[in-house]
Amino acid sequence: MHIDLVDQDRYATAGPPHEQLAWLRAHAPVYWHEGEPGFWAVTRHEDVVHVSRHSDLFSSSRRLALFDEMPEDQRALQRMMMLNQDPPDHTRRRSLVNRGFTPRTIGALEQHIRDICDDLLDKCGTEADFVTEVAAPLPLYVICELLGAPVTDRDKIFTWSNRMIGAQDPDYAGTPEEGSAAAGEVYAYANQLAAQRRANPKDDIVTKLIQPDDDGGTLDENEFDLFVLLLVVAGNETTRNAASGGMLALFEHPEQWTRLVDDPTLARTASDEIVRWVSPVNLFRRTSTADQVLGNQQIKEDDKVVVFYSSANRDTAVFPDAETFDIGRDPNPHIGFGGGGAHFCLGNHLAKLELRILFEQLARRYPRLTQTGPARRLRSNFINGIKELPVALR
């Protein structure tokens, strides 16, 4: 079988190459993939979890966690972000940021999120683009709520996020300079928010994060700015694409939509199944820190190692009927939020809450919701995204 797991055009037309990934899981679960540079493609659930939970052996910092290569001066800057750190630096930063994502803090947002969903659906006409009118604004509204920022700022955040994440897509692509400029605008925005909260503290995540913790630890200015940057991208893109991909999956499996309409409480398990099925983050990169063996393959120090969540989440060794979309699936040990370890998604509870409430409200309000045109996918091997999904709200 011809193997190319990173062809951007393939992702734009058909999404992840599931037939290639299934062949690799069965025949070559740790596979040397040609490229510039070549890399080890890790496709089984067990191995992705192993890589994820051993930051000492598979580093996010040496060559960063992103697939594409970049010069060392850019890597040095990127290493200031939690995504591209290893313990103990990552552990310290994560412990400070965790204060803003306690179950109590996230649970207190439930009614806000329900109001946001209803407001978005109220504004839709009978014909709408599910992505731009529902799936994209939802996490942006929630991010504004988390940051204590005006809801009117959501369009700016949306534009910045697209410019930073959609570099390979013709609808979003700009120059590298424009992507850097977007990041600079996010830094300036974060600085402004922090200054406002120092002068006028509020009960929001920004105030929590700029204040010292019980041990006197605090985020410095750069650390706070980079956290906001990560929140703008990760907190927006993943939920947005899980929501739109989940809606498409429900259209493609109408019997599951009927189940949800008949029992909207299934949205609780449906949110996990949507993340498993869609795997909004397709891959992350690690770098081997030592000569070692994984999946019977000899991996050398500094080799590029890429974990494919979209493959691990359809591993038949872990998921019975893995190719069946089942909104009642329970248990559901998917790793759509990461395979555990240091980099397990900080916002996983928030993302599941947003998805649960959105699909509850959709099932209750629009039982005859239908797709009215083809979905258009993002040209990206990193984010499994949908750019457009026309619907009729009935």
Instruction: Quick: pLDDT tens for 167-206.
Output: 567 776 566 678 788 888 998 999 999 999 999 998 888 8
Interval 127-132 mean pLDDT: 97
Note the pTM of the prediction, 2 decimals.
0.94
Is the previous residue joined to 29 through a cis bond, with omega within 30 degrees of 0? Answer: no
Q: How far is CA 254 from CA 99, 326, 344, 362, 371, in A?
A: 40, 11, 32, 14, 11
Answer yes or no: is 256 within a domain: yes
Interval 328-351 mean pLDDT: 95
Q: What is the mean pLDDT of the chain?
A: 93
Q: How far apart are CA 80 and CA 92, in angstroms?
A: 12
Answer yes or no: is 60 within a domain: yes
Answer yes or no: is 3 within a domain: no
Instruction: Quick: pLDDT tens for 40-51.
Output: 999 999 999 999
**Coil/strand/helix, residue 358:** helix
DSSP state of 377: E
Answer yes or no: is 65 within a domain: yes
Q: Where residue 105 falls among pLDDT bands split at 50, 70, 90? A: confident
Quick one: CA torsion of 141, 144, 145, 146, rounded to 10 degrees?
Answer: 120
Indicate whether 291 pLDDT > 90.
yes
Instruction: Quick: pLDDT tens for 7-56.
Output: 999 999 999 999 999 999 999 999 999 999 999 999 999 999 999 999 99
Element spanning 177, H or E: helix 176-199
pLDDT score at 323? 98
Answer yes or no: is 1 within a domain: no
How far does the chain reach from its first CA to its final CA, in angstroms? 44
- Angle in degrees, 0-180, between the axes of helices 348-365 and 254-262, rounded to the nearest 10: 80
CATH number at residue 326: 1.10.630.10
Total Cβ atoms within 10 A of residue 39? 22
Query: What SS3 string covers 63-102?
Result: CCCCCCCCCHHHHHHHCCCHHHCCCCHHHHHHHHHHHHHC
Supply angle C-alpha 42, 63, 338, rounded to 5.
45
pLDDT score at 174? 64
Q: How many domains does the chain have?
A: 1
Indicate whether 381 pLDDT > 90.
yes
Indicate whether 157 pLDDT > 90.
no
pLDDT score at 168? 62
pLDDT score at 181? 86
Indicate whether 146 pLDDT > 90.
no
CB 261 within 8 A of CB 363: yes
**Which residue segment(s) compose the domain that 292 sits in?**
8-392
**Coil/strand/helix, residue 276:** helix
Q: How far is CA 224 from CA 13, 90, 207, 228, 328, in A?
A: 37, 14, 11, 6, 39
Q: Where residue 266 falls among pLDDT bands split at 50, 70, 90? A: very high
